[in-house]
Structure 1
């Protein structure tokens, strides 16, 4: 459907102060009158539709949907106070572009019968829901790790102590070898618990961080571990500013991602075409973790491996979940914890032949 032009019912407006605040939002927002005519469109909606707010002002907002009757019915329902908030999915018409799938949220305001219509691109809504799940998952992981560590450490100390006493018994020398096995396994479990607790125990050392120095350190460490048939490509944006953070922890987080990628590439390394790409970019006016930031770092660790197994795609940041035989399943959990301590998050997009771990951190 093409948007049609009707006689304007209200003049073009520049918008009062309560309108201008809407320009700070990343979502698409329109303010309409009781008849559904546009009184104001924020910057995001202007960009999506391809017209200025002065051009849009006075036009029926319903004309910019493939099914205009849905919005018309929603406006009527809001005006008659049938609903406080109305939600539904629709397709937004755009000039010279394919229609955009959006989730529509319509609610009345306190300003003389006006209604606010918020349009969330469905892919953006899905991303926000995924980010929220990651944050909730990280919080649950943190509590799980602390409780698990507490439950393991106390009996573990007792088991190790009993095994040491058993070694000292003169009548049980033939059991000394078994006691040594118990001590060794107790120490291994202690080391595992210590690794789980490491990001929560260690005090952060905050300083100015250059993300490319972090990437170069990681690149050198990975190439030292996999010196043959693995290329680690650089694709850096030199304009990225320094930011405040814990350099050593960030090296550990990025190294965990890169090592994870390298270990998934063993078949490619054997074939001689394994590749990891470290790519940095600056994002502007970006929203993640339900917060909007003027600038953010976007760091990708991309590999051309087989991809994350479908069975664990939704659980890869859980502790002790690994898609690799012999893996302990802590690397991604620790990386996510470290990045979230820097008010960021890590996302994963994976398919056979390309896995992309994207790290997002706010910039000053």
Structure 2
């Protein structure tokens, strides 16, 4: 006679092996006690690397920490998180959906279901961020118009008033004029660059080198720069001045973020991508520039709004540098993305090289 418990266990094991979702069983110490075949494919790890391993130790970084898992066990409440950033020990970056369930049998165990977020999800997120960015820009343009009109009148009135005041009182009208000018300059910076891109055929690496030289000339933290260029990137048409400004804004931000970092480093990297999609369009060739630093990482609370104007992780920062950079790259049909965790921040600039596919 067949033991029904054993038969049921074999059936459950067989079913789990047919799943495309990664299934992992963790004990109270967060040690891997079981995993299905799909787990190796989703995480890109072999059976020996997974078996009997402390699950958090598989990652250099993961948005879900050991405390989250331990807290779920203590409260006996599972949870689910989408778009979890995870970095494996070999440096590979994954975007995952993770669902955590508390097991009744065996008791004190966690069942993890992990799905790898595919490229389509990233494209959807990029499209959403693009619409949010454009909506924010339009809002700012409307506000700027409403601010600048009365501001001009206020400044003009102060100038007229100054003509009829004794000299000892003109310091007050000068203060009004100076503050009006300061506010106008801030609004102009919020609006960002207004001239259209003037495209010429140029070499991208020359622009990256110019940015590196400018950054080295003003480098109070003695940041060490390294280069990793792809010589296969051809010359293509873009506005060198606008791309230089966008890249310099990002590099300057990285330098400022490294002020409290021991042995601060920035890596400038270039690559060429084939058949890549940007803003819903598929391009034969896309140039990629990465700015990678070893700083503290971007605060979690501003990650989703990082490219919005007036959003900054620095005390006293205006938050305009990244917003302007994103606008400049948008003018070229490109995009800026960011991945960040403690000890690693990576800004990636995408610029179309070849025409879209028919």
Task: Give the TM-score band, short-chain normalised.
Answer: 0.5 to 0.7
Q: Which residue of 314, 317, 327 corresponds with 2:307?
A: 317
CA shift for structure 1 position 314? 0.6
Partner of 1:191: 185
Q: Which residue of 58, 63, 66 corresponds with 2:18?
A: 66
User: Normalized against structure 2, the TM-score is what?
Assistant: 0.66
Partner of 1:352: 342
Secondary structure of the residue aligned to 1:138 is: helix
Change (3 A) 1:177 1:151: same
C-alpha distance after superposition, 1:74-127 (max 9, x if no partner): xxxxxxxxxxxxxxxxxx987984589999xxxxxxxxxxxxxxxx96232331
C-alpha distance after superposition, 1:121-175 (max 9, x if no partner): 623233122201221022112211221221111011111112222322235x443
CA shift for structure 1 position 301? 0.7
Unaligned runs of 5+ in 1: 1-62, 69-91, 104-119
Q: Would you say how many aligned residue pairs link Structure 1 and Structure 2?
A: 258
C-alpha distance after superposition, 1:48-78 (max 9, x if no partner): xxxxxxxxxxxxxxx9x9349xxxxxxxxxx
Secondary structure of the residue aligned to 2:156 is: helix
CA shift for structure 1 position 321? 1.0
Q: Which residue of 216, 228, 233 corresponds with 1:223?
A: 216
Task: Return the alpha-carbon distance in structure 2 between the equivalents of residues 353 and 163 of structure 1.
Answer: 51
Task: Return the alpha-carbon distance in structure 2 between the equivalents of residues 161 and 122 of structure 1.
Answer: 57
Q: Map 1:164-203; keep pairs closer than 5 Å.
A: 164-171=159-166, 173-199=167-193, 201-203=194-196
Partner of 1:248: 241
**Contact 1:245 1:342 survives alignment (8 Å):** yes
Secondary structure of the residue aligned to 2:339 is: strand
Q: Which residue of 271, 276, 298 corresponds with 2:266?
A: 276
**Contact 1:285 1:295 survives alignment (8 Å):** yes
Secondary structure of the residue aligned to 2:127 is: helix
User: Normalized against structure 1, the TM-score is what?
Assistant: 0.65
Q: Map 1:1-364; keep pairs closer than 5 Å.
A: 66-67=18-19, 97-98=41-42, 122-171=117-166, 173-199=167-193, 201-226=194-219, 229-268=222-261, 271=262, 273-364=263-354
Task: Return the alpha-carbon distance in structure 2 between the equivalents of residues 102 and 309 of structure 1.
Answer: 20
Partner of 1:41: none
**Contact 2:287 2:351 survives alignment (8 Å):** yes
Task: Return the alpha-carbon distance in structure 2 between the equivalents of residues 349 and 252 of structure 1.
Answer: 21
Please, what is the CA RMSD of the aligned residues? 2.8
C-alpha distance after superposition, 1:28-49 (max 9, x if no partner): xxxxxxxxxxxxxxxxxxxxxx
Unaligned runs of 5+ in 2: 1-14, 21-35, 45-94, 98-114
C-alpha distance after superposition, 1:208-258 (max 9, x if no partner): 121111111111111111155211211111111111111100000000100
Secondary structure of the residue aligned to 1:267 is: coil
Change (3 A) 1:99 1:168: closer
Task: Return the alpha-carbon distance in structure 2 between the equivalents of residues 211 and 174 of structure 1.
Answer: 56
**Contact 1:208 1:244 survives alignment (8 Å):** yes
Change (3 A) 1:160 1:102: closer
Task: Return the alpha-carbon distance in structure 2 between the equivalents of residues 312 and 213 of structure 1.
Answer: 32
Change (3 A) 1:94 1:307: closer
Moved over 6 A (4+): 92-96, 99-103
